[in-house]
Structure 1
Amino acid sequence: MNLQPLKIPSGWTVEWNLLTETDPTEETIHEFTGSLLLVNSSTRLKAIDVCWQPEAAINGAYQLQVILLLPKFNSITNTMEYEGIWEAPELEFTTQNRQELVEKLNDLLFTLKPYIDTRILLKPGVVDEPNESLRQDLLANGLTKEVIANIMASNHKKLQELILDHKDISKEIVEELLQRGAGKGVKNKAKQLLSSKAFKRG
């Protein structure tokens, strides 16, 4: 059995590769079990997984998933680990044709854009739990009075900038951030927003 040749650019790491040039037949289908290929990129924060589903079923198909990776610092080993968001793939592709799979793989390996980790961090791979919780509240509930009050009390620059970027931002909130914002950056952004056409009309 020969491994399937792939065009893998720098920046990708092959965790394992059991993808061969063998096509599924009644004689070979027993080989099509488990994950056949897993590659990941710590710079793109993405992984590509290929398996055959249902396993060892002649009427199955190759299933490709692009998985987002979240950096997680391990303080015991002093290394960065990466946790896949397997429950929410960024992309899924299914085919019974090996050449179609190879073409898709080779394209994705070169064209996938990096995932931007939007979590609030204390340092790379270490989540700022209280402030990240506030960010999640903002995403889930919008600009409620409670969310705004908590973010104002946090005095956290990034959270306050997220308020200013919110589609439901009001002039009153912008004026409050102009006066009480967490630093010059937030206050300057609030000042610019108040000078914009949207708020001048208001």
Structure 2
Amino acid sequence: MNLQPLKIPAGWSVEWNLLTETDPTEKTIHEFSGSLLLINSPTRLKAIDVCWKLEGDINGFYQLQVIPLLPNFVSKTNEMEYEGLWNSPEVEFKTKNRLELVDKINDLLFHLKPYVDKRILLEPGIVDLPNEAIRQQLMAQGPTENIIRDIINSNHKKLQDLLLDCTEIQKHTVQELGKKGASKGVKNKAKQMLLSKRFRE
């Protein structure tokens, strides 16, 4: 039983590999259970997981998923841990053909773009809890009056930049950010928006 050769570039680490050059038959199907392959990249914040669905079923298929990873710094161990967003896979791929699966894995290993962590952070892996709570409220509810006031009072440039990106934003809010924005970039963005046709009318 030989492991399936893969072209793994720098930046990826193999957590486990039970993917072999064996194809599923009545005699070998017992080998196709659980996760067959898990490869992580802390630089791309991605994981590639391969399993066989359904376990022990000769009529099953390989399922590949690309899972985004959220970095979380653990102060007790002084280490970064990575939380997989298993409910939100970026890529899902199914095939019965092992060689087709291998081609897909090799392609993803070289061409996957890094996951962008949209949370508001104090440092890598350390969430800015108060401002992240405001960001989540903005994403869920849109720019309500209370959320707008919280964002302006936060004096946080990322929050204010996100607010300016909201399609529901009103002219008076853009004007206020043009004068009192948390950074030169926020102020300039607001001033440019005020020159657009949308706000000149």
TM-score, scaled relative to structure 2: 0.96
Separation in 2, partners of 1:185, 1:22: 56
Separation in 2, partners of 1:7, 1:183: 45
Match for residue 15 of structure 1?
15
Per-residue CA deviation, residues 150-173 of structure 1 (Å, 9 max, x unaligned), is: 211222111011111222222111
Residue 196 of structure 1 and its aligned partner are, at CA, apart by 2.9
Separation in 2, partners of 1:44, 1:13: 11
Residue 102 of structure 1 and its aligned partner are, at CA, apart by 0.6
- Runs (5+) with no aligned partner, structure 2: none
Separation in 2, partners of 1:18, 1:177: 55
Match for residue 131 of structure 2?
131
Match for residue 38 of structure 1?
38
Query: Structure 2: which amino acid aligns with 1:51?
Result: C
RMSD of aligned C-alpha atoms? 1.2
Separation in 2, partners of 1:124, 1:32: 38
Task: Map 1:41-190; keep pairs closer than 5 Å.
Answer: 41-190=41-190
Separation in 2, partners of 1:78, 1:121: 17
Helix, strand or coil at the partner of 2:64? strand
Q: Which moved more, 1:158-167 or 1:11-20?
A: 158-167
Per-residue CA deviation, residues 57-81 of structure 1 (Å, 9 max, x unaligned), is: 1111111000000010010111111
Query: Structure 1: which amino acid aligns with 2:148?
Result: I
Query: Structure 2: which amino acid aligns with 1:130?
Result: P
Per-residue CA deviation, residues 115-148 of structure 1 (Å, 9 max, x unaligned), is: 1111100110001111111111111111111211
Separation in 1, partners of 2:178, 2:101: 53
